[in-house]
Structure 1
Amino acid sequence: MGVEEEFHLVDLETRAAVPRVPEVLGELQGLDGEAFAAELKPSIIETNSRPTADLADLRTDLVRLRGMLAQIAEQRGLGVVGAGSVPLIDGSAQGITPSPRYERMRDEYQMLAFEQQICGTQVHVDVPDRDAAITVMQHSAAWLPVLLALSASSPFWQSEDTGYASSRTLAWHRWPTAGPPAPLRDAADYDALIGSLLASGTMSDPGMVYFDMRPSAHQDTVEVRICDASPSVDGVVLIAGLARALVRHGVRAHLAGRPAPQHRPELLRAASWRAARSGLEGDLVHVDGPELVPPSRAVRLMLEHLADDLDDAGDRAVVEELALEALARGSSAARQRQRANRNGNLEAVVDMLVAETRGAPDSPVDAPVSATVAPVLLAGYAPPAYDEAVSEDHTVRPAYSWLVSTLERIGPSGLLVHEKSRDAEQRARGMFFPQEDDAERLFPLDLVPRLITPHEWSTLSEGLVQRARTCEALLQDLHGERACLHDGVLPEAALRWLPQPHEAAMNLHPGAVRALVSGLDVVCDAEGAWKVLEDNLRIPSGIGYAMADRRVVRSVLPELQAPGGVLDADEGPALLREALLACAPPAAGNEPVLAVVTEGPADSAYYEHQVLAEEMGVPLLTPSELRAAAGMITIAATGRPLDVVYRRIDEEVLFTAPDASGVPLGDPIQEAVRTGRLTLANAPGNGLVDDKAVYPFIAALTEYYFGEKASLAAVPTWSCADPDQCAYVLEHLDELVLKPVDGFGGQGIVIGQHASEQDLEKAAAEVRAHPAGFVAQETVQISTHPTFTGAVLEPRVVDLRAFVVLAPTPTVLPTPLTRVAPPDSLVVNSSRGGGSKDTWILR
């Protein structure tokens, strides 16, 4: 194999491409006559490596040629840039290199010749004969766009950002004979095509067949031509290794007589366009799907496809490591944009490209293939208390041994690659959790999954169902007889209000379930025991995000496979739908009509609303898409009455919103609910019980209603509504966690251990002014979990939001959401900088 590299010459003062190749070419040819050549543009020079069968030798020769070129150029105040395009171009560089061939091309092709201020990398690989070369082209065509994505380095053209990772591809593909290889049978078919193109006047000589891969016009090789020039030597070596593997694969197919895959030329061209558009920062077209896949997946598919050929050449270890490094680093196009944005000018981009082209740091090509890498991800891992994956003696817990081993094999650079794919996958899915300052904030997701053993899940499920049933019994009681108040089990002071007859919450039809879906937050303490932290009974969110987390992790990290399998998170929406339909009102027919009602895109959890509606196969509606008619609530577009509304909108917003006719929805909805024509899930008024002031009494209420001891412990909690407890809280405020009883999303929380004296004084004043508005909890040493931070795994505090549905049978959905706190924080809420993890319930 051998490589032709093209380079721009730039003036080191102006940083613009300049037509000064003639000044340096003569001296370079005197040093190595066959290694350097002029190109169409007098600002572009070509180097030609020596033929070799070894990637390490190839790299050595590329470094040699780059060094010679850079040294001669620097003596004249010039820099050398290996990139598909150079951002700045001197006006004098618009001409062409004097030569009869180039002048003929200029006269014939005009603009196409003028705009060829572009550089590529071509790889030549030996083939047995020209028939084999044609077979190689056919078998390689679908994979060539991946090579383009790996090499994309031309985002700028004439001082402007083109919006493409490889603008060179756009310019190159304007030539009438450029693009994916034509579907050909053999060398005779190829020669006939050349004859036809020459006869048509489309090209002026056989060397102008500019397919992305072609038989060489003057050597017994196949030539890969699709790639941008690269500032990195290792980038070129990676392309060369993959190109040789493609050729070996095609030659084997030729010798075995295997038929070539059939791909539509339009799809191959579309795949090249997508690679030019995205580089390594967006999805690529997997032609065999066809489907869009993250770049890490596309590269992995290519490596799997060529595994045997890479092994036969002895290149597999080197190529795989170079590929992971390339994915972790991102495309040159992305780095150029980052430098331009950071420095505010394109001169800085040129400086970076000159430095990268001149430099040649150590490479895995030079390392022994058998070298092993010591574990690094858990280096320095020091959890402050109980960690779910790493024990006190710093050994990995048995349940996590396979996971940590797999992550170590992937390594930091590999995980960085997968994080890029994660971001692309989330953007493709629209998986956003917008904030005021960032409307397109991705829902934070750490790729290291959390594991829950079967025994833990069994214990949790029993306790969670019991707690959800207690909360439901309390809601029914408070909206009915209020026996718990009369018997003194729950003090009335713990309630911020008592329901009144005119309120919507008092007018449900008989038998209605009030808290059909509850989200219960649990944590592991310093002893590894589960405790309930909070109850969420209004419109708890997270089911859709938990399910989406699973899909993203499985998509970008398919190599993670639990030995015994995990519960299927995709079952969650089906169970949720079953629960909602089981609560249809008496007037519903045999096929109740269900809808998800949302405030719309303004809601930060709107993505989840979309996912759940889609997965359950029901409409997603805003209040303006409803209509109140004849005592019913209907879908405005169809007039079809709704039987069950899964409410993902605050009740106050829903009741004050106008329907499609401008009629406020409050009275019509309440009437439809009261008369048994509509079920609202969850019911209005559930905030009465998930206020934190009620939390300390749930265990006693479990025994009161069911005669059972609470099987899940609760975090010790003090109600400031009680004078004695309030006095204790004020005395120990620096040791406790103070929470507003009606707070959500982590708002208003004061963590005494982390609060300043000023914050504590302010909090104490608020408690004294309104004691019933606060509770305080013991500061629990919450468990931590390994979380990838870009280089290593670090411990981060985690909690678990589990979802319980109470119909048709009380069930914990297999879609719990693990939430992750930021560094040095106990607050896991996404609105406060927290993230999430995929939660694997082991079988």
Structure 2
Amino acid sequence: MAERPESVAVGVEEEFHTVDLESRRLLPRADSLLQQLPAERFGAELQRSVVETNSRPFVRLADLAEDLAALRRGVVAAAEPLGLGIVAAGTVPVADIEALKVTPDPRYENMLDEYQVLAREQLICGAQVHVDVGDRDLAVAVAHRIAPWVPAMLALSTSSPYWLGNDTGYASYRTLLWQRWPTTGPVGEFASAHEYDRTIADLVRSGVISDQGMIYFDVRPSAHLPTVELRICDACPLVEDVVLLAGLFRALVLVELDAITAGKPPLPVRPELIRAATWRAARSGLSGELVDPAAGTPVPARAFVERLLAELRPTLESTGDWELVDELGRAALARGDSAARQRAAFLRGGPEEVVDLLVAETRANTEWIPGAGPDRTEVVAMLAGYDAAKDEAIVFDGSARNPYGPLLTALDRIGIEGLRERERQRDEVQRRLGMTFHVDGEDQDRLFPVDIIPRIVAAEDWSHLSAGLAQRVRALEAFLHDAYGPRLAVRDGVLPGWAIDESPGMRPEGRLVPAAAVRCAVAGIDLVRDDAGRWAVLEDNLRIPSGLGYALANRWLAARILPEPAGALPTPTPARAMNALRRALTRASSALAVVTSGPSDPAHYEHRLLARELGVPLVEPADLRVIREGVFAAGERVEVLYRRIEEEDLLAMDGMPEAVFRGRVTLANAPGNGVGDDKALYSYVPALIRYYLDEEPLIENVPTYLCRDPERLAEVLDRLDELVVKPVDGYGGIGVVIGPDASPAELAEVKELIRAEPARWVAQETVRLSTHPTFVDGRLEPRAVDLRAFVCGGPEPEVVPLALTRVAPAGSRIVNSSRGGGSKDTWLMQ
């Protein structure tokens, strides 16, 4: 059974009733709404009076909340011109069963024929939470283990006291209607997903249910995905309560996943008691008592929820959810459940007042998360047809994700023509600064491509990334010393000897570096963010990582061409980044120079810029003189060379290896660092963090497979169209083949290359890279992005408060500028 992923995404499906705003009765008009809404986010249910919405999965609850609010905005906006109201509740007080119809679909029509009154009376709506645990065996195990705590989730959501005009006496009468189906209630214990699937197949074969979709357990594993689903809850009028349920359920799942890893048994509670506890929750919601699953005794519902929050606090803090969940939990307990609010409304004005309350609560919360902002004529025009399915800045309805609200407001003020003018200003500034790069085979240098729409990295993301980046560089520094020293990691079985001996980056000159030297003065770590908001390290660059100068220049450009939003957000100044770099490079000596190969180097502009900002000479190898006393340039002693050229070009100089060995000059970065950043070694970095630091990795790796392993090789060749394959010593995107984007001919060619030399190749799972708005021909288009962060090494590595966002061309996932990619200014929030 696999271990749980570090960053666990959560998503929600919500069901909504359609009601007539005049009569306040259910109307079978969902099909009219669905014609106006995107099919990938909105769908039909059994009854034609129900619309279902599907959120994206997200790591951060705040992102999920934005998505849920936007989905509600969408369905409400489609309904109101038709005289319809949208209700998020388990039931609507008044309904005419005879006037309602099932959705015209063969599956639903078969259900009506087979289940009769159960299908006709399925006038109920729920909220379902999905948590991605990464493995179906884990999902099956967790679905059973979590069952004792599920009644509390139901109590928080109870919103169906009325049925066909009558007060049922229950807080959730939907639960009683739901439990009439043959496959509801707590799920049993299964040894594996295979055993679970076999049981489900037996149920289908029995003829009692027609397909896997009719498995309605209170908590169930997905039939196809590695997710576990909470299905017991009523639909919630307040979106805050849905977010609360998502946060609590994910925390419960994480607790049980950790218990599985630790070998702890589940809480021994019989299914009969769980069913009784579910009835108790449905009967009185938060207004009465719940059943303590451990003691089997009644407990006041509010006290039970408070205790549950306290017990889950460590897990909620580990995911960054505690403050939000605690706030939402206290608010839910203070106002009581929806059933109690509905009964109070009924006393004021009967069933019509109840429906008005539910419509108002459902509608009001569409603006709960700030960021939608005022109407933006210019931005709306630029976003026409925008695909936000994987976007980190734009919600599917065109509103802004936090913290992009101020930026979109500023872009609307600038307008399309204003942005075009700023593009012209950008090009003029770049030409004046000489901000260009060279591509082999081209006669003329190109302007370094910079999109004028900046990227924002939220403060909570950057804080987490900074800690993880510093941790990673500490471990890699320890590895570099170990690889050229005692090789303890090999001795202790943390990684195989070939990972060092056969590495393309292993150099005999690496042994010249004094033991006390910092081998990795500046690291460039490439990060990717997926569509759920999950960050991962894609590559480590420990030799001569480029991009810091271009990141600095992008900050200058943004200050000149986007002054309005640029000054409104708290981001570090470029001077702080240069100070961090200066401290790292001058740790050994203040006699520093930047070494370049000259104007022919594609990144010569960056070399000049860095030398100027550091206030040190920019030299070429021919400018250096190595004598017994040390290394000199223009008659001045140089004790640290910040090299922007290959190590061979320096070490080929007479006397340079001896000067390095004797400590007369420090090369930053040290020769031989390539052993620490090839694609094969990358797969072992999490183990190296545990070994050298005795810490768990704070940032995940992308799952990586070494083709030299025969079992992995067979899997890679079989899944080549799903994976990304890379040569172990590749850089700049050279040799990378992205399976889902490759042609059959490209796949066939790389398959033969891998078969011929499997040790030269690795494969990685394809990351669904997040996209970001990019200004193209007067429109905003989504483009895949990554992030290169920079870390200055030493005893306590310092993350440079400056990063380079790289942008892939249209239709591509490769961000390198030499392959047509570009860049963005990056605002790191503090």
TM-score of the aligned structures, taking structure 2 as reference length: 0.53
Q: Is residue 466 of structure 1 aligned with residue 453 of structure 2?
A: no
Measure, in 1, the Cα distance between the counterparts of 2:750 and 2:721: 10
Measure, in 2, the Cα distance between the counterparts of 1:398 and 1:462: 22
1:425 match: 429
1:826 match: 813
The one-letter amino acid of 1:535's match is D
Q: Is residue 415 of structure 1 aligned with residue 415 of structure 2?
A: no
Q: Is the 8 A contact 1:729 1:736 kept in 2?
A: yes
Q: Is the 8 A contact 1:553 1:838 kept in 2?
A: yes
Q: Is the 8 A contact 2:505 2:675 kept in 1?
A: no
- Candidates 695, 702, 725, aligned match of 1:715: 702
**Are residues 812 and 600 of structure 1, via their aligned partners in 2, closer, same or farther at CA, if it must alter by over 3 Å?**
same
- Candidates 514, 520, 544, aligned match of 1:515: 520
The one-letter amino acid of 1:643's match is E
**Are residues 473 and 808 of structure 1, via their aligned partners in 2, closer, same or farther at CA, if it must alter by over 3 Å?**
closer
Measure, in 1, the Cα distance between the counterparts of 2:477 and 2:625: 30
Measure, in 2, the Cα distance between the counterparts of 1:434 and 1:797: 23
Determine helix, strand or coil for the equivalent of 1:540: coil
Measure, in 1, the Cα distance between the counterparts of 2:397 and 2:379: 17
The one-letter amino acid of 2:687's match is A
Measure, in 2, the Cα distance between the counterparts of 1:798 and 1:808: 31
- 1:68-102: per-residue Cα shift (whole Å, max 9, x none)? xxxxxxxxxxxxxxxxxxxxxxxxxxxxxxxxxxx
Measure, in 1, the Cα distance between the counterparts of 2:672 and 2:376: 61
Q: Is the 8 A contact 2:388 2:394 kept in 1?
A: no
1:622 match: 620
Give how far 1:719 is off: 0.7
Alignment of 1:25-174 (within 5 A): none
Q: Is the 8 A contact 1:383 1:784 kept in 2?
A: no
Give how far 1:381 is off: 4.5
Give how far 1:515 is off: 1.1
1:563 match: 568
**Are residues 703 and 501 of structure 1, via their aligned partners in 2, closer, same or farther at CA, if it must alter by over 3 Å?**
closer
Measure, in 1, the Cα distance between the counterparts of 2:556 and 2:612: 15
- 1:714-742: per-residue Cα shift (whole Å, max 9, x none)? 11110112111111111100100010110
- Candidates 652, 655, 670, aligned match of 2:651: 655
Measure, in 1, the Cα distance between the counterparts of 2:648 and 2:534: 38
**Are residues 383 and 465 of structure 1, via their aligned partners in 2, closer, same or farther at CA, if it must alter by over 3 Å?**
farther
- Candidates 585, 593, 596, aligned match of 2:594: 596
Measure, in 2, the Cα distance between the counterparts of 1:536 and 1:468: 10
Determine helix, strand or coil for the equivalent of 2:791: strand
Measure, in 1, the Cα distance between the counterparts of 2:605 and 2:674: 24
Give how far 1:771 is off: 0.6
- Candidates 579, 587, 607, aligned match of 2:584: 579
The one-letter amino acid of 1:693's match is A
Measure, in 1, the Cα distance between the counterparts of 2:439 and 2:619: 22
Measure, in 1, the Cα distance between the counterparts of 2:744 and 2:511: 45
Q: Is the 8 A contact 1:430 1:607 kept in 2?
A: yes
- Candidates 441, 446, 457, aligned match of 1:441: 446
Alignment of 1:760-779 (within 5 A): 760-779=747-766
Q: Is the 8 A contact 2:470 2:797 kept in 1?
A: yes
Determine helix, strand or coil for the equivalent of 1:407: helix
**Are residues 373 and 754 of structure 1, via their aligned partners in 2, closer, same or farther at CA, if it must alter by over 3 Å?**
closer
Gaps in structure 2 of 5+ consecutive residues: 1-374
Give how far 1:563 is off: 2.9
Measure, in 2, the Cα distance between the counterparts of 1:500 and 1:390: 41
The one-letter amino acid of 1:471's match is L
- 1:503-554: per-residue Cα shift (whole Å, max 9, x none)? 2110112301111110000011121011100000000001110010110121
The one-letter amino acid of 2:413's match is R
**Are residues 642 and 767 of structure 1, via their aligned partners in 2, closer, same or farther at CA, if it must alter by over 3 Å?**
same
The one-letter amino acid of 2:622's match is S
- Candidates 528, 531, 538, aligned match of 2:536: 531
Give how far 1:377 is off: 4.5
Q: Is residue 396 of structure 1 aligned with residue 382 of structure 2?
A: no
Measure, in 2, the Cα distance between the counterparts of 1:429 and 1:500: 35
Determine helix, strand or coil for the equivalent of 1:414: helix
Measure, in 1, the Cα distance between the counterparts of 2:504 and 2:409: 56
Determine helix, strand or coil for the equivalent of 2:600: coil
Measure, in 2, the Cα distance between the counterparts of 1:512 and 1:372: 55
Q: Is residue 753 of structure 1 aligned with residue 740 of structure 2?
A: yes
Q: Is residue 634 of structure 1 aligned with residue 632 of structure 2?
A: yes
Measure, in 1, the Cα distance between the counterparts of 2:505 and 2:788: 31
2:387 match: 383
The one-letter amino acid of 2:720's match is L
1:547 match: 552
Measure, in 1, the Cα distance between the counterparts of 2:632 and 2:448: 33
Runs of 4 or more above 4 Å deviation: 371-374, 498-502
Give how far 1:564 is off: 3.7
Determine helix, strand or coil for the equivalent of 1:649: coil
The one-letter amino acid of 1:507's match is L
Determine helix, strand or coil for the equivalent of 2:474: helix
Q: Is residue 691 of structure 1 aligned with residue 678 of structure 2?
A: yes
- When structure 1 is superposed on structure 2, of 768-777 and 373-382 the one drifting more is 373-382
**Are residues 653 and 385 of structure 1, via their aligned partners in 2, closer, same or farther at CA, if it must alter by over 3 Å?**
farther
Equivalent pairs counted in the alignment come to: 455
- 1:562-581: per-residue Cα shift (whole Å, max 9, x none)? 53421112322221111111
Q: Is the 8 A contact 1:500 1:506 kept in 2?
A: no
Q: Is the 8 A contact 1:499 1:506 kept in 2?
A: no
Q: Is the 8 A contact 1:517 1:805 kept in 2?
A: yes
Measure, in 1, the Cα distance between the counterparts of 2:462 and 2:534: 12
- Candidates 729, 737, 746, aligned match of 1:742: 729
- Candidates 641, 651, 673, aligned match of 2:660: 673
Determine helix, strand or coil for the equivalent of 1:641: strand
Q: Is the 8 A contact 1:386 1:528 kept in 2?
A: no
TM-score of the aligned structures, taking structure 1 as reference length: 0.52
1:405 match: 409
2:483 match: 478
Q: Is the 8 A contact 1:543 1:572 kept in 2?
A: no
Q: Is the 8 A contact 2:524 2:791 kept in 1?
A: yes
Measure, in 1, the Cα distance between the counterparts of 2:415 and 2:509: 56
Measure, in 2, the Cα distance between the counterparts of 1:800 and 1:715: 14
Give how far 1:631 is off: 4.5
Measure, in 1, the Cα distance between the counterparts of 2:443 and 2:784: 25
Q: Is the 8 A contact 2:528 2:785 kept in 1?
A: yes
Determine helix, strand or coil for the equivalent of 2:683: helix
1:609 match: 607
Give how far 1:479 is off: 0.4
Measure, in 1, the Cα distance between the counterparts of 2:436 and 2:768: 31
The one-letter amino acid of 1:547's match is L
Q: Is the 8 A contact 1:632 1:668 kept in 2?
A: no
The one-letter amino acid of 1:573's match is M
CA RMSD between the two structures: 2.0
The one-letter amino acid of 1:642's match is V
Q: Is the 8 A contact 2:504 2:674 kept in 1?
A: no
Measure, in 2, the Cα distance between the counterparts of 1:390 and 1:502: 47
Q: Is residue 645 of structure 1 aligned with residue 660 of structure 2?
A: no
**Are residues 523 and 497 of structure 1, via their aligned partners in 2, closer, same or farther at CA, if it must alter by over 3 Å?**
same
Of structures 1 and 2, the larger Rg is shown by 1
Give how far 1:373 is off: 4.8
Measure, in 2, the Cα distance between the counterparts of 1:442 and 1:500: 32
**Are residues 785 and 619 of structure 1, via their aligned partners in 2, closer, same or farther at CA, if it must alter by over 3 Å?**
same
Q: Is the 8 A contact 2:393 2:773 kept in 1?
A: yes
Determine helix, strand or coil for the equivalent of 2:469: helix
Measure, in 2, the Cα distance between the counterparts of 1:764 and 1:602: 36
Give how far 1:800 is off: 0.4
